[in-house]
Chain A
Amino acid sequence: MNAIEFILAGMLAAATPFLLAALGEMVVERAGVLNLGVEGMMALGAVIAFIIVYHGGGHVLGFVAAGLASAILSLLFAVIALGFRANQVATGLAIGILGQGLSALFGKTYESLTVTGLPKLAVPGLSEIPVIGGLFVQDAAVWLTLAATLGIWAVFAYTKVGLVIRAIGENPKAAHAIGYPVIAIRVAAVAFGGAMAGFAGAYASVVYTPLWADGMIAGRGWIAIALVVFGTWLTGRIFLGACLFGAVSLMGLAAQATALDVPSQLLSSLPYIVTIVVLGIISADRRLLKLNGVASLGEPFER
C-alpha cells in the first residue's frame, strides 16, 4: 500500500470525529450560539463510551450514552449562556474545562486500556477499484456519519426546520416577533451539538484509536470549531474540510513510515499549523464570511 492509498483508505475514518463535532457545532452556530466547549464535550463522550464498551455494553449503547452525557453537559451551557445570558465565550471555555476534568476523573482507572473497534464494511464492487477502493471500506459508524451529513444538508436545503434555525440565527428579535420560541429552539440546537460532540468523542475512543488516554482528544474539538469557519457554515464545505484534516492527521503517520527526517513534534503540530494557516486565508475574505456568516452569533437574546 503506497502513501496515497493509505491516506485515501484512512481519511474518512480520521475525518469522522472532526465531521461529527463540526456539523453539531454548525447547527449550534446557525442558530446564533457559540459553544466553545466542544473539546470538553468530546472528551466526556469519549470516556463514557469507552467505559461502557470496556465493560461489555457494546458500541451502540456506548455511542448512545456518550451522546446523552455530552448533550447533558451542553444543556448546562444552555442554561447558563442562554438562560442567564452569560458571556458565551467564557461559558464555553468553562464547559470545556469541566468536560475535560470530568473525563479525566471518570477515566482515571481506565488509563491506557484498549477495546476492540468496529469491523469494516466494504461496498461490493466499488471497494475493488484500484487506488480509491479503500474509500469504500469503512466501519458502520463512518457510513452512519456520512448519512447524517447528507441528512443535515437536506434539512438546511429543503425543510422548514432548517429555515427556522437560519432565521433565528440571523435575526432572533424578528423570529420572536413572528412567534418562534427563540430560546427553546436555541437550547435544542445546543443539545444537538452536544450529542454530536459526544458521538465524535465516542468514535475517537472506541472505534478509531481505540483506547482511553487522558487528553486523547488533543485539540480535535477546537479544530472542529475552526472547521465551521472554514466551511463557512455550509455542510458540504465542512465535509471537505473534515476530509482535509483527516488526511493531514494521516500524513504524519505516512511521513513517519517513509522515514523522512522530520521531527515527530512537527508532524504532530501539523493539524494545528494547517488550522492557523487556513483560518487566516478564509477569514481574510471578509465578504465571504459576512455573506455566509450568522449575524447574531454569540449575542445573548433579550426581548
Chain B
Amino acid sequence: MSESLISARGLTKKFGDLVAVDGIDFDVSKGESFGLLGPNGAGKSTVMRMIGATSQRDAGVLTILGKDPDKHGPQIRAHLGVVPQQDNLDTELSVVENLYIYGRYFGLPRAFVKSKVEELVAFAQLEEKRNAKVQSLSGGMKRRLTIARALVSEPEILMLDEPTTGLDPQARHILWDRLFRLKEQGVTLVITTHFMDEAEQLCDRLIVMDKGKIMAEGSPSSLIKDYSTKEVLEVRFGSDRNQEVADSLRAMCQRIEELPDRFLMYTEDGESLLEKIYASGLHPKTSLVRRSSLEDVFLRLTGRTLIE
C-alpha cells in the first residue's frame, strides 16, 4: 500500500440547511491522479476547498500529509498548487510578473523564483506572451498560466477544479498534455470535472459524487465494467414515436434508459442487438453503437445525466 497523502473520513460540510458534502470517505495516494466526477452542485468544489485549507469542515476527519487543515492551513497550502475553477490571475500584472509574485507570496527567495519563472513560461508555452498583460491572453493561455502559477512553489499535490471547462477542444488537448507531463514527474493530481472524457483521460482512480455523497469509486475502466455493459446502442425514433416503441425495445434488452430524445440500450454486442431491432420490424431514424463511458456509469448510479 502506497503512502496516503490525503485522507478523509466522514467529511461533512454544511451551508445553513444545505448539506454540501455528506460524510464522505476517500484516500489519495502519492503520485496518483485522483478524480472527483459529478454534476454541478455535487459538492466537488467544496471538497477541493476543504483540502485546500480555505474552507473549514463541519464534521469528520481530514488529514493532508498528516496535518489537519483547520489547524495548519498555511503549512498545508505550501504543499499544494491550486488551479481554481474561475481564473484569478492578477490582471494588473504581466505573465512573468504573475508567476514571479506568486512565488514570492510563498515566501520563496527572489533568485529561486526568477529561475523558476523561466522554466514555467516554457512549460506553459507562453514565451511569446511573457511580457503581455493577462487580459490579452486567450482562455487556453490563461488556464495554462494559472497551472504554471500553481507550480511555482513545486507542490506535491496539484488541485485542479474543472481545469478545461470553457476551453475549445484544441486548447483542452494542449492542457491535458501538460497535465500528463506533471503526472509523469510524480506530481499527485486531484481533479474535479463533469466531463467524462476528461476523467477517463486523466484519472487513475475516481469517485463519482452526487448530492454530496459518493456513489461509486474505482478506476474509469473498472467503474465501467462494474456499472455498465461493454457496449451501448443509441437509437432514435423521433419524439412522436419513442413512446410507441418503448415496450417492444424493453423486451429485447436487459437494461434500457429512456432519454428525452433517444434510448440507450445496454448490451454486450450492439450490432447484433440493432439487427434484432430491424428484424422485429422497427426502423430507428438514427442508430449508433459505442463503448460504454463514465457518462453511462453516472446515469446508472443516479438516473440522471452529468450535463443537464
A binds B: no
